[in-house]
Amino acid sequence: MPQRERRSSIVPGMKLGPYEILSRFAVGGMAEIFAARDPQGQPIVLKRLLPEFTRNEEFLRLFFDEAQILATLDHPNIARVYDRDIVDNHYFFTMEYVQGKDMLTVIRRTLRAGSQLPLEHALTVVCSAAAGLHYAHDKRASDGRPYDIVHRDISHSNLLVRRDGVVKIIDFGVGKSKNLGSAFTVVSSFKGKIRYMSPEQCGGGQLDRRTDIFSLGVVLYELTTGKMAFAGPNEAAIIRKIVLDGVDPPSTRVENYPPELEAIVMRALARERDQRYSSADEFRVDLEAFARNRGLELSESALSTFLHEIFGKELDAPWEENNGSPGEVSQVSTPPEPIPSLSPLRVDSGRSHIPTRLAVRAPLRSSPEPTPRMSPGAPSTAYGSRTQGTSAWHPPPPNEPVHSSDRKREMRAWQSDLVHRKKGNDRRMGILLALLVLGIVGIGLALSARGQDRVPKFGKGRDSGEQTTEPRAP
């Protein structure tokens, strides 16, 4: 059932400082996102902190410290943060408006159009994102201290493709810098979509740039195999697979998957971070070398042409006509959901090769109807069993709002699981402490009883006034 939309005190036509609010197009766990216009009439995105987070002064300080750090990120593949301000107790900062689509929307529309996603475009997106991540990871303060920025939430929905083919990373708002302190870490420790989290992120460990490399590796895996890297009936099962089992090699899920590409993917997805790429730039270099060896041209202009083929005039329409929502509500993380299934690499004349396009197929939605039997040897997908030549699932229309009820339900289940684990740990700890106390008391009683036989008895001796320790006669 769709979740009732949360009402906001910010309404269209209202002004926050010099910025005119046009519409609200997304709300997340910590902030709500508005389409707005700056004093020059240019479109921007305004991110306002939700009121319940404005009561903690330490959190507000960290919020603006983070905005200040993010404002220093100036890279073609990162959406810019412009300004930060407080107006009538509204805490917000403004960001670059990206006229384009996120990768999840691109995959959906490609599927709906009956078209195919070129592999070189998937590699273009991943390489561009790796370049932006490397810049953010290496960002330093004026005194040379590294900011140690980690995005924490790399996924399809946080990679935008602008109408001219330039890829932009968005939602660094859930990122973390070591210089922000511990209070922000508590708030953002479980940010991100479970399917794209690294093992150390699932375990609540210390994070560095290699966690973003893992997440980007998941994106690459899904774009080149058409299947989820990690799937399960619930978030706990997915976490167990990420932390304990690891990812299945692409060649086990896709026939004749190129071994060179598999080596790159598996290195990015290594469970032990010391075995991953040490930097996103190293990841990008290997992907570009693979593309060159396969004769694939990574081109932003070609990616732009493909977007216009898929979306048509929708890309060129003024943003007010696009439901007031730039990028189809793509400036904020969307709830985790299956990516439309892209068919794997195909085989031609018995030889493995990289196709110029990947055929698009639809995933199945689970339903109460019995699932048809799969053909022998057919690989299973993350969305259920696949029937031969049929599909029981179709994605929603592109302008249909994405509700977060499923995401919140999953997060409640995950939080409940954590609470139960904590209660169990507390119970076990209490039992251990009780046993320890009982042991100490028992040892004390034993020592006391043993010492009773050796306690000196004070009294006059029979022949002298000296003390004696002999036991008295009964």
Catalytic residue numbers read: 153
List phi, psi (to 5°) of 45: -115, 130
Task: Give yes or no for a contact between 27 and 6, defined as CB atoms under 8 angstroms apart.
Answer: yes
Rounded (10°) angle between helices 119-137 and 209-225: 180
Going by C-alpha positions, the residue among 223, 229, 235, 263 that lies closest to residue 248 is 229
Contact present, 307 and 313 (Cβ < 8 Å):
no
Euclidean distance between CA atoms 149 and 207, whole angstroms = 10
For residue 172, what are the contacts with CB-CB under 8 A and spacing of at least 6?
A: 70, 73, 78, 79, 81, 136, 149, 151
> What does the block give as tokens for 468?
């004696």
Range list of β-strands (E), 115-268 = 116-117, 159-162, 167-169
Cβ-contact 289, 121 below 8 angstroms? no
What is the β-pairing status of strands 358-359 and 351-352?
Answer: unpaired
Tally of CB atoms within 10 A around 338: 20
Strands 19-27, 31-37: pairing is: antiparallel
CB 176 within 8 A of CB 185: yes
User: In 10 A of CB 355, how many CB atoms?
Assistant: 15
What is the distance between the alpha carbons of residues 25 and 324, in angstroms, rounded to a whole number? Answer: 7
Cβ atoms within 10 Å, residue 388: 9
Cα(457)–Cα(282) distance, integer angstroms: 83
* Residue 71 near residue 82 (C-beta atoms within 8 A): yes
CB 284 within 8 A of CB 123: no
Instruction: List all residues 6 or more positions away from 293 whose beta carbon is below 8 Å from its beta carbon.
Output: 260
Q: What are phi and psi of 339, to 5 degrees?
A: -75, 145
Which residues does 94 contact at the CB level (< 8 Å), separation at least 6?
Answer: 19, 36, 38, 44, 45, 46, 47, 81, 82, 83, 84
